[in-house]
Amino acid sequence: MDTVNPPANSMPVPKINIRTMAREDLAQWLEQYNEPHFRAKQIFEWLWIKGADHFDMMTNLPQSLRARLEESFVFHIAEVDIVQKSQDGTIKVGFTLHDGRTVEGVIIPTSKRITACISSQVGCSLHCSFCATGQLKRDRNLDFSEIVDQVRGLNELALDQFGRGLTNIVFMGMGEPLLNLEEVFRATEILTAEEAMNMASRRITLSTVGIARGIRKLAKRGSKFNLAWSLHAATNAKRAQIMDINKSNPIEEVVDSIKEFYAHTKRKVTLEYILFQKFNDSEEDARNLIKIAKEFPCFINLIEYNSVKGVSLERSTPTRSRRFLEILTDNGLEAHIRRSRGHDIDAACGQLAGKKQ
Ligand code: SF4
């Protein structure tokens, strides 16, 4: 770890990553050296608009201040490391963090949109049985700068590869965003700030396995983000077989929290439902799903499963998937089948596992 030179006989003081400092924290730090307030704005701009990665770049700051910053802070930047391209245009990117850990992000291009799927944690503590990330243990939460770095890195790559920047962001990569909610909020503040990345909140989706407490927090903040609930089975008994989280957050409790979310935000929720062959794709399963979906305004995404090593669940056949979809739409629900993308590079839903690790 980088340290500040200590006075004789005292412990070295660790340097702080300047990219985790909020603007108000910077202002406070500057105050002790009688620096004017506008310096905080200048430093913020260097960090989040101009993408500075060392203090010498901050040429509108006096040399003495740059030296002082250098003494107290370091830059931790998540660097693009491995880039893999799928035959269908999907790109998976491995990011190396300052401590050598790795997370993954994915770019999914279509004719209308370029979506970035990003991670919120290194590994995951929830161990959903069908998910490659769940086979890793949760190592640590990402800080907000590491989340923003993924978006910046993927945006640059999208501009380079497709001549267009990102249009949408989904927190659907490694980890559960609602278990790292404060850092996710701080990241979205930068992503949506007019003077930084200026993305509309409605272009950002938080995808959760259903943490009722976190959803209620989103509701209370009146967040204008989209919410997606990874449901994947429509009864508690069946869901608990594949998702441990259902034991502490049963379906009824999550449904109540989503109703609260809708009451505050008026935003339709997306239900994500992976179709597993002969596990959750019967007519009875569809009818159980309809009961949940009628509780609040929603869209349903039926997702094609991508095999994960060591997992016995399999993708539903096209016939069973089509029949399942038909039952939902015949009952007046808005649903469609989401085709799997990037599975040849293990970039599809549930396949991110930071293989380098
Ligand atoms: S599906 Fe999401 S919450 Fe479940 S193990 Fe995978 S990353 Fe974690």
Q: Give the Cβ contact number of residue 294 at 10 Å.
A: 12
Number of domains composing the chain: 2
CA dihedral of 213, 215, 216, 217, whole degrees rounded to 10: 90
Question: What is the pLDDT, as a whole number, of residue 262?
Answer: 96
Q: Could you list the residue range(s) of the whole structural domain that residue 127 is in?
A: 79-345
Which residue's alpha carbon is nearest to atom 5 within ligand 1? 134
Instruction: Report d(CA 87, CA 158) in Å as an integer.
Output: 16
Which residue among 133, 205, 243, 306 has the greatest number of ligand 1 atoms within 8 angstroms of its CB, and so is best to mutate?
A: 133
**Residue 133: per-residue pLDDT:** 78
β-bridge mates for residue 141, sequence order: 121
Q: How far apart are the first and last CA of the chain?
A: 21
Q: Which residue has the higher pLDDT, 8 or 119?
A: 119
Decide if 206 contacts 267 (C-beta within 8 A): no
Of 51, 74, 97, the residue that ends a domain is 74
Q: Model-level pTM greater than 0.85?
A: yes
Half-sphere exposure of 79 (CA within 13 A, CB side): 8
- How does pLDDT run across 217-258, given as a tens digit for each residue? 999 998 789 999 999 999 999 999 999 999 999 999 999 999
CATH number at residue 43: 1.10.150.530
Mean pLDDT of the chain: 91
Please report the atom of ligand 1 found closest to the CA of residue 121: 7
Our answer on whether the CB atom of 124 is closer than 6 Å to any ligand 1 atom is yes
Same domain, 206 and 147: yes
What percent of the chain lies above the pLDDT cut of 90?
A: 77
The answer to whether 124 is a known catalytic residue is no
Tell me which of 22-36, 131-145, 255-269, 310-324 is least confident.
131-145
Residue 267 beta carbon below 6 angstroms from any ligand 1 atom? no
Same domain, 140 and 231: yes
Q: What is the CATH number of the domain that holds 281?
A: 3.20.20.70
Beta strands in 64-167 (DSSP E): 73-74, 79-85, 91-96, 102-109, 114-118, 121-122, 140-141
Identified catalytic residue from 24, 70, 104, 314: 104
Range from 119-123, 151-155, 303-307 carrying the lowest mean pLDDT: 303-307
CB 128 near ligand 1, within 6 Å = yes
Give the other-Cβ count within 10 Å of 146's Cβ. 27
Query: Residue 198 domain-assigned?
Result: yes
* C-alpha span between 59 and 273 (Å, rounded): 51
Q: Tell me the average pLDDT across 31-52.
A: 92
Residue 131 catalytic?
no
| Pairwise CA distance, residues 111 & 155, whole Å | 16
